[in-house]
Chain A
C-alpha cells in the first residue's frame, strides 16, 4: 500500500454505532460487520478522503505509538476494510 493512496468511506455503506463499536453493512454483504478499536477510529477519520500517511499519523497520535510501528497495523486494517467494500480509494 502506497503512502500517498487516498482513502474514504464508501458512501453506500450503512452503519450505526454503539458503545465503542461501529456496525457496518456493505452493499451485497449478508451480515453487518462490527468494527472495534482502531477500526472505529479509522471509520470516523475517513468521513473525508485521507492519505495512508495521514491516517497513520493520526492513529499514531491517538494511540501514542511511533508511526513506524503503527503503519503495519493501519495498512492491514485498510486492506481488510477495502476487501469488505467498506472503503474506496479516492482520487
Chain B
C-alpha cells in the first residue's frame, strides 16, 4: 500500500518541524530565490507558516533577512485571519447557545487550541461546528440571522439533515463557518455515531470563554478522517495526525474501539501510516505498529474508492454511500435525492438535469466493484 503523497522534501521538513522523531532535514544554508518562492507558496497554501517561522527563529532553517521578513509577514497575515475566525466562532457560539442548540467545535480551531503547544503554530481557514441532525436547520437559520449566506444550495430539501455532511456559510467579510451534521461526506460519515460525539466533551478556552470540543479520541479520529477522506495528502492534516499520536495522552484502545464502531479502522490505519511515512518518523509507537500491519478488507477498500484513488469522485462517493444508509426506504430516499436533485442545486453546479443523470450513470459504472 503506497500512502505517501508526493511532496517537496523541503515543505515536508517544514511541516515536520518540532515533531519528535522526524528524520526529515532542513538545509543548512539559505535557499536561493526561486526555491524560497516555491517554498513560501506551498507554505501559504498548506497553512504551515507557524512551523516555518518556528524553524527560522530557532535557527534550524537559515534564511536571508528578506526571507525572514517574508515568512513572518505571511505568518502574521494568517494569524490575523485566525483571530478574526476565533471572534466569529465566539459570536456564533453565543447565538447557538441562546437558541439552545448544542454544538461542538471541530477541526482546525479545536486542534490548534488543544493539540499543539501554542495555537499560533496551527493555522486554519474557517470555523467548523458540529450540530445534532434534528437541530441542523435551526442552526443554519441562526447563521443566516447573523448575516451569513449558504455557499451552496442543498442537493434536495432535507438531504443535509439526513444524509449530508453539512453546509458552508459565508459572511460578507469572507469568514466562513462550516456547519457539520457528521464528520465527513458519504459512506464513512453516515456510519459515525454522531449522537455519541456529544457525550463527555472536552473544553478549551478562547477569549475567556470555555468552548466544547470532541473528546480527545474522537478529535483524533476526526483528524484521521479529514487527512484521508477530506483533503487527501494535505500536510497540515498529516501533521495533526502525528501530533495527536506523539504529543497527546491518546487512549489507543479506546480510539480503535470507536473507529471499529464507525467501521473506520482502515481510515485510521491509512492516516497514521501516511503520517509516519511522510514525516519519516523514527519513533515506533503501538499505534504506528498497528497501522503498518493493518490489512484493509475488500469491503473497506471499496468504501474508500469514492474518496481516494483513480475512481475518486463526488458521484462515486455518493453511490458507495448507499451501502451505509439504513433500511430499504432510507436507501430509496437517498437515491431519489441523488436522481431528483433540486433545480437550485443543478443551477449551482451549472448542469442541466440530463447532464446530471448522465454523470450519475457514469459514476454508477465506475463504482462497480
In the complex, chain A residues whose CB is within 8 Å of the CB of B50 = 18
Q: Find out whether the CB atom of B208 lies under 8 angstroms from the CB atom of A11.
A: yes
Shortest CB-to-CB span from B245 to chain A, Å, is: 25
Task: Tell me which of A14, A19, A31, A34 contacts B86 (CB under 8 A).
Answer: A14
CA distance A12 to B205 in the complex (A): 10
Interface size class, chain B: 20 to 34
- Answer whether A19 and B75 are a contact pair too, CB < 8 Å, given A11-B207, A11-B208, A14-B206: yes
Q: Find out whether the CB atom of A19 lies under 8 angstroms from the CB atom of B208.
A: no
**Contact residues of B: prevailing secondary structure:** helix
CA distance A73 to B87 in the complex (A): 31
CA distance A13 to B53 in the complex (A): 23
Q: Is there a chain B Cβ closer than 8 Å to A32's Cβ?
A: yes
Task: Indicate with 1 or 0, residue by residue over A25-39, a CB within 8 angstroms of chain B CB atoms.
Answer: 101000110100000
Q: Is there a chain A Cβ closer than 8 Å to B332's Cβ?
A: no
In the complex, chain B residues whose CB is within 8 Å of the CB of A18 = 50, 53, 72, 75-76, 79, 120
CA distance A17 to B57 in the complex (A): 13
Q: Find out whether the CB atom of B207 lies under 8 angstroms from the CB atom of A23.
A: no
Interface residues of B in 49-92 (CB under 8 A from A): 50, 53, 56-57, 68, 72, 75-76, 79-80, 82-84, 86-87
In the complex, chain A residues whose CB is within 8 Å of the CB of B72 = 18-19, 21
Q: Find out whether the CB atom of B79 lies under 8 angstroms from the CB atom of A23.
A: yes
Interface residues of B in 115-133 (CB under 8 A from A): 118-120
Q: Find out whether the CB atom of B120 lies under 8 angstroms from the CB atom of A16.
A: yes
Q: Find out whether the CB atom of A13 lies under 8 angstroms from the CB atom of B118.
A: no
CA distance A23 to B77 in the complex (A): 10
In the complex, chain B residues whose CB is within 8 Å of the CB of A19 = 53, 56-57, 68, 72, 75
Interface residues of B in 134-180 (CB under 8 A from A): none
Q: Find out whether the CB atom of B87 lies under 8 angstroms from the CB atom of A16.
A: no
Task: Indicate with 1 or 0, residue by residue over B199-225, a CB within 8 angstroms of chain A CB atoms.
Answer: 000000011110000000000000000
Shortest CB-to-CB span from B322 to chain A, Å, is: 44
Shortest CB-to-CB span from A28 to chain B, Å, is: 10
Shortest CB-to-CB span from B49 to chain A, Å, is: 8
Shortest CB-to-CB span from B203 to chain A, Å, is: 15
CA distance A65 to B87 in the complex (A): 38
Q: Find out whether the CB atom of A25 lies under 8 angstroms from the CB atom of B120.
A: no
CA distance A27 to B181 in the complex (A): 30
Shortest CB-to-CB span from A84 to chain B, Å, is: 14
CA distance A13 to B86 in the complex (A): 11
CB closest chain-A residue, reference B208: A11
Task: Tell me which of A10, A12, A23 contacts B83 (CB under 8 A).
Answer: A23
CB closest chain-A residue, reference B75: A18
Q: Find out whether the CB atom of B87 lies under 8 angstroms from the CB atom of A14.
A: yes
Task: Tell me which of A12, A13, A17 contacts B120 (CB under 8 A).
Answer: A17
Told that A12-B208, A12-B209, A18-B75 touch, could you supply 19 new A-B pairs with CB distance under 8 A? Answer: A11-B207, A12-B207, A14-B207, A16-B79, A16-B82, A16-B83, A16-B120, A17-B120, A18-B72, A19-B68, A19-B72, A19-B75, A21-B72, A23-B76, A25-B84, A25-B86, A25-B87, A27-B207, A32-B79
Q: Give 19 A-B contacts (CB < 8 Å), ordered by A residue.
A: A10-B208, A11-B207, A12-B209, A14-B83, A15-B83, A16-B119, A17-B118, A18-B53, A18-B75, A18-B76, A19-B57, A19-B75, A21-B72, A21-B76, A23-B79, A25-B83, A25-B84, A27-B207, A32-B84
